[in-house]
Amino acid sequence: MTDSLTLARPDDWHLHLRDGAALRAVVADSARRFARAIVMPNLTPPVRSVDEARAYRQRIVDALPAGARFEPLMTLYLTEATTPADVLAAKASGIVHAVKYYPAGATTNSQSGVTDLSRCDAVFATMQDVGLPLLLHGEVTDPSVDVFDREAVFIERHGRALVERFPGLRIVMEHLTTRDGVDFVLAARDGVAATLTPQHLLMNRNAIFAGGLRPHAFCLPVLKREAHRAALVAAATSGNPRFFLGTDSAPHPRHAKESDCGCAGIYSAHAAIELYAEVFDAAGALTGLEAFASFHGADFYGLPRNTDTITLVREPVPVPDELAFGDARLVPMRAGGTVAWRLVASA
Ligand code: DOR
Ligand code: ZN
């Protein structure tokens, strides 16, 4: 049994860092583990321009603990007002690495999202030309579609057509949650990939109802049934470079989750790589963790792989019931429980 694991420092290819006091409360957790992160733009108001991305990037850098080395890779929030010129400016900036699609109304701060994908054709064509990836929150919001089917229906109604209509567009299916999604990514042309979160790899939808209603297990896309979780684990541990790490760590204050209308999002940054180590260990695939966490994402984005390392040791680490979060409190994934790996050192 492997009790110690050293791997090239990983990156988080899907992360919510928030802003202000919340940002200051969480960014150190990510910076301790990851060299870089693709930072989601769903602030209020959203990050829609290079200027806004540059300012947000600076606030992230300013919030880092002294001595931390962590590179925020910025994204723009796609709206129906986004123009090809915005895409050209993003590419030229060197700090914006992708554009994020949210279907209007799908999730936290998605009011400004897109209601009709075909309105974005000129933007997608420009992204294809300049090689700027499109990150998809791949769900439909049609109220007649069952919430557990939103991803599969998105693929049928929009995903397949998008991939074929823009054959050179680099596309990431973010936080993939279903076997349908895995099959779609596996069968797609080159340039189509997916991120996988720790919660979708470790939990199925029973977690939302375990002994009562569990708001801290609620995220979007919502957890799915066990057969889907198993398909995600098989994809993550397969060694296929189309699948890589993206936590979707998404902190909300405790009161906003424990509410009549609780927010979607699970905070995992405090133990992110440790949780993925649990997944790979349980699948007998620990040696594959490094490629999934540290190589595949960098290769997809055309960025250099990290050359420093982190080390994990097999040792139970208690997770606090809650963490400080500005003026509020934050309930982390596995709160009150233990994580099976400890992050010991960086080099
Ligand atoms: O669970 C989620 N939380 N899913 C998302 O798509 C957004 C995120 C957030 O920002 O809270
Ligand atoms: Zn997200």
**pLDDT tens string for the chain (347 positions)?**
789 999 999 999 999 999 999 999 999 999 999 999 999 999 999 999 999 999 999 999 999 999 999 999 999 999 999 999 999 999 999 999 999 999 998 777 777 899 999 999 999 999 999 999 999 999 999 999 999 999 999 999 999 999 999 999 999 999 999 999 999 999 999 999 999 999 999 999 999 999 999 999 999 999 999 999 999 999 999 999 999 999 999 999 999 999 999 999 999 999 999 999 999 999 999 999 999 999 999 999 999 999 999 999 999 999 999 999 999 999 999 999 999 999 996 65
Residue with tokens 């960014």: 27
Pocket test for ligand 1, best of 40, 107, 109 (most atoms within 8 A of CB): 107
Query: How far is residue 233's CA from residue 245's CA, in Å, rounded to a whole number?
Result: 12
Q: Please classify residue 2 by burial: count the beta carbons closer than 10 Å to its beta carbon, then call 0-12 exposed, 13-18 middle and 19+ buried.
A: exposed
- Would you state the pLDDT for residue 107? 75
Query: How far is residue 123's CA from residue 139's CA, in Å, rounded to a whole number?
Result: 20
- Would you state the pLDDT for residue 237? 98
Which residues have any ligand 1 atom within 6 Å of their CB? 16, 42, 107-108, 137, 219-220, 250, 264-265
In contact, 224 and 177? CB cutoff 8 Å? yes
- Which residue ranges form the domains of the chain, and what is each CATH number? 10-305 (3.20.20.140)
Q: What's the 236 CA to ligand 1 centre distance in angstroms?
A: 21
Residue of 11, 12, 29, 248 marked catalytic: 248
Q: Please classify residue 257 by burial: count the beta carbons closer than 10 Å to its beta carbon, then call 0-12 exposed, 13-18 middle and 19+ buried.
A: buried
Nearest ligand to the CA of 108 is: 1
| Furthest CA-CA distance within the chain | 54
Of 50, 112, 55, 58, the residue nearest 75 (C-alpha):
50
Q: What's the 1 CA to ligand 1 centre distance in angstroms?
A: 36
Question: Taking ligand 2, which is a single-atom ion, which protein residues have CB atoms under 5 Å away?
Answer: 248
Report the nearest-CA residue for atom 10 of ligand 1.
108
Q: Is the peptide bond before 221 cis (omega within 30 degrees of 0)?
A: yes
In contact, 11 and 298? CB cutoff 8 Å? yes
Of 61, 81, 83, the residue nearest 73 (C-alpha):
61
Q: Which atom of ligand 1 is nearest to the CA of 266?
A: 1
